[in-house]
Amino acid sequence: MRVLVRDLKKHVGEEVELLGFLHWRRDLGKVQFLLLRDRSGIVQVVTGGQKLPLPESSLRVRGQVVENPKAPGGLEVQAKEIEILSPALEPTPVEIPKEEWRASPDTLLEYRYVTLRGEKARAPLRVQAALVRGFRRYLDRQDFTEIFTPKVVRAGAEGGSGLFGVDYFEYRAYLAQSPQLYKQIMVGVFERVYEVAPVWRMEEHNTSRHLNEYLSLDVEMGFIGGEEDLMRLEENLLQEMLEEALSSAGNEIRLLEADWPSFPKEIPRLTHAEARRILKEELGYPVGQDLSEEAERLLGQYAKERWGSDWLFITHYPRSLRPFYTYPEDNGTTRSFDLLFRGLEITSGGQRIHRYPDLVESLKAKGMDLEGFKGYLEVFKYGMPPHGGFAIGAERLTQKLLGLPNVRYARAFPRDRHRLTP
């Protein structure tokens, strides 16, 4: 029966069978050392008199587990038999044990099918999987229902901008930029819903923090008293997500030497107007109506220095800066918020307009075509409750938590302005 590398310490002195990849090899003549890698870790294997295949070949190893303080993990396997299950036919284009961000981003991404086998390359994906698991687990406990919405749509959630067009038989369709309209509709069905799914934004950014396809963690909740209910929900949700990642992907977090954040009892809050005043009067930054990336970075530093918090809510954005469905206040602001983590926006959310006449008026005020939102509008004729939600960008959160130099490293096969393969 197969034994995983992580469980070898339970089998010292016993004969075991291992299955994995040849991570590294060294031939000293009569003795060969190799590192065998499986999904759980790496172990040293000692053998003699056998010609070893190229690295990344898949192997079956049968041998005895012995203690060796000089070996990785303090254990090694003295092989009695090595079977080559599938040999590597040529050297890998990037040397896996040495791929620790030393190659250029383009090289690491071009050969992603190989570089992902490296410990550091795959670690962010394991951490992200744990974050998503914590996301689902917490919301399930809070009586949310997971939903699955269309990804080919007739119109965008925020109008006609930022959409990838596709031919859909005789129609013009688009890749979904958000499940926003559908998750609002589903509030009328289940009250509390969430979705974990990709979204697409046709934005020509080519920076270390932008992707054109990313994983969106969406939440929508009915019968709320205001946007504060949503922010409290997100605080508790994020805390559980971080705890799950640290618990089940702690080895990967330590491998990447991540500066893992503490979580405050309550995330500090600044209104959009207060944030602009602080930027201008206290930080000397000439800020416009919207907050630039640099402005958000400075606000992140401000939150850290003033409250010791890596997290900061910016609330009550002007109506002109928010989508048509955002609930307006009489003073021209909205019941909305963004969450900054270490100076990077990872969440946008707020309360939605829930009355039909107000929603029609908002669409008209934004100059949007009512016909394109007919199916969405219909549900608001039938008693939609006060509701709201938010969305977390999984890759951005992963990038900032782990201190990755590029958000592309937080997605297995990223899609950006110039990348459609692998």
Catalytic entry in 319, 322, 342, 396: 396
| Distance (Å) of CA 390 to CA 11, 183, 234 | 48, 11, 8
| 348 flagged as catalytic | yes
Tokens standing for residue 199: 């979204």
Q: What angle do CA 205, 207, 213 make, to 5 degrees?
A: 60
| 345 flagged as catalytic | yes
* Residue count of the chain: 422
| 252 flagged as catalytic | no
| 408 flagged as catalytic | no
Q: Quickly list DSSP for 263-290.
A: --SS--EEEHHHHHHIIIIIS-----SS
Catalytic entry in 58, 345, 361, 415: 345
Q: Quickly list DSSP for 315-331.
A: E--BGGGS-TTBPBPTT
| 209 flagged as catalytic | yes
Tokens standing for residue 129: 């999987």
Catalytic entry in 37, 112, 117, 201: 201
Catalytic entry in 25, 136, 210, 269: 210
Catalytic entry in 209, 269, 355, 415: 209
Residue 98 burial class via C-beta count within 10 angstroms: exposed 0-12, middle 13-18, buried 19 and up: exposed
Name the strands in the sheet holding 344-351, side by side, starting at the edge strand that comes first in the sequence. Answer: 145-146, 192-200, 213-222, 387-393, 344-351, 336-341, 311-315, 269-271
DSSP 258: -
Catalytic entry in 203, 213, 228, 243: 203
Catalytic entry in 216, 309, 348, 362: 348
Residues serving a catalytic function are 201, 203, 209-210, 345, 348, 396
